[in-house]
Structure 1
Amino acid sequence: MSAPVVQGWCPGAHRPMMSGDGLVVRVRPRLARLSAAQTLGLCDLALRFGNGTIDLTNRANLQLRGVAEDDHQPLLAELSALNLLDAEPGIETRRNILVSPLYQPGDLTARLTQALIDRLGDLPALPAKFGFAVDTGAARLLAGDSADIRLERGASGLILRADGAETGRLVTEDEAIDRVIDLAMWFAERFTSDTRRMARLIATQALPEEWQGHAPGPTAPALQPGNSEIGPIYGAAFGQLPAAELRGLVGASGAAALRVTPWRLFLLEGGA
Structure 2
Amino acid sequence: MTVTERQMMAGHNILSGENIDAIACVPDAQSMARGACPSLSAPMITGDGLLVRLRPKTPGLTIEQFRALAQAAERHGNGLLEITARGNLQLRGMTTESMAGLAADIAHAGIIPETGVTIETPPLGGLDPLEIADARNLAALLRQQIAALDPQPALAPKLTIIIDAGGRLNLDAISADIRLRAARAADNSTIWDLAVSGTAQTAKVIASFPAEQLAIIDLLKALALLGPRARGRDLDVDSLRMKYRSLDVSALGIAEQHVSPIGIHPLGSDHLALGLHPSFGQIQAKDLLRFLAIAEAAGASEIRTAPEHAMLVLGLGVQAAEAVQLAAADCGFRTRADDPSNHMDVCAGAGACASAFYATKSAAADLLDLAPELLDGSLTIHLSGCRKGCAHPANSAITIVGAPMGYGVVVNGSASSEPVAYIGKEELKFALAEMNRLVRNNKVAGESTKECLTRLGTDAIVTALRQG
Instruction: Verify same fold: TM over 0.5.
Output: yes
| Greater gyration radius | 2
8 Å CA contact 2:122–2:170 kept in 1: the answer is: yes
Counterpart mapping for 1:40-189 below 5 A: 40-86=67-113, 92=115, 94-105=116-127, 108-121=134-147, 122=149, 124-138=153-167, 141-156=170-185, 157-164=191-198, 165-176=203-214, 179-189=215-225
Query: AA paired with 2:217?
Result: I
Aligned to 2:260: 223
1:11-26 correspondence runs (5 A)? 11-26=38-53
Distance (Å, rounded) in 2 between the aligned partners of 1:120 and 1:5: 28
1:248 is displaced (CA, Å) by: 2.4
Partner of 2:405: none
Contact 2:63 2:300 in 1 (8 A): yes
- How far residue 67 of structure 1 moved from its aligned partner, in angstroms, is 0.3
Alpha-carbon distance in structure 2 between the residues aligned to 1:186 and 1:117: 17
- Contact 1:31/1:99 (<8 A) preserved: no
C-alpha contact 1:60 1:98 (8 A) present in aligned 2 = no
User: What is the match of residue 247 of structure 1?
Assistant: 289
- Alignment CA distance shift 1:113-1:220 (3 Å): farther
Q: How many residues align?
A: 259
Tell me the residue number matched to 2:14.
none
**Cα distance in structure 2, aligned partners of 1:23 and 1:141:** 32
Give, in whole Å, the separation in 1 of the partners of 2:289 and 2:239.
Answer: 47
Q: Distance in 2 between matches of 1:247 and 1:207?
A: 53
Give the distance between the partners of 2:244 and 2:86, measured in 1 at CA: 25
Kindly indicate whether the alpha-carbon contact (under 8 Å) linking 1:32 and 1:261 is maintained by their aligned counterparts in 2.
no
Task: Provide the rounded CA distance (Å) in 1 between the counterparts of 2:196 and 2:140.
Answer: 20
Change (3 A) 1:5 1:33: farther
Alignment gaps of 5+ in structure 1: none
> For 2:292 and 2:244, how far apart are their aligned partners in 1?
43
Identity of paired residues, percent?
Answer: 27
Report the CA distance shift for 1:78/1:192 in structure 2 as closer, same or farther (over 3 A).
closer
In the alignment, the residues of structure 2 paired with residue 191 and residue 140 of structure 1 have an alpha-carbon distance, to the nearest angstrom, of: 34
Is this contact kept in 1: 2:81–2:90, CA < 8 A? yes
For residue 30 of structure 1, report the CA deviation from its aligned partner.
Answer: 2.4
Mean CA deviation greater in 237-246 or 11-20: 237-246
Contact 2:68 2:109 in 1 (8 A): yes
- 2:81 is paired with a residue whose SS is strand
Match of 2:231 among 178, 183, 197: 197
Q: CA deviation at 1:105?
A: 5.0
Whole-angstrom CA distance in 2 between matches of 1:139 and 1:238: 23
5+ residue gaps, structure 2: 1-25, 186-190, 267-271, 322-468
1:28-43 to 2 correspondence within 5 Å? 28-43=55-70
Tell me if 1:208 matches 2:240.
Answer: yes
Cα distance, 1:40 vs structure 2: 1.0
- Length-normalised TM-score, structure 2: 0.51
The alignment yields a C-alpha RMSD, in angstroms, of 2.7
CA contact (8 A) 2:192 2:211 kept: yes
Distance 1:152 1:258, change over 3 A: same
CA–CA separation in structure 2 for the residues paired with 1:188 and 1:259: 32
In structure 2, C-alpha distance between the alignment counterparts of 1:11 and 1:48, rounded to whole Å? 19
Could you state the TM-score of these two structures normalised by the residue count of structure 1? Answer: 0.83
User: How far is 1:18 from its partner?
Assistant: 1.0
* SS of residue matched to 1:167: strand
- CA distance in structure 2 between the partners assigned to 1:26 and 1:65 by the alignment: 9
Q: Distance in 2 between matches of 1:81 and 1:169?
A: 44
Structure 1 residue 5, shift from structure 2 partner: 4.2
Question: For 1:91-122, what per-residue CA distance to the aligned partner results, in whole angstroms no more than 9, with x for missing partners?
Answer: 72x24222211222595212122223334423
Q: Is the 8 A contact 1:55 1:63 kept in 2?
A: yes
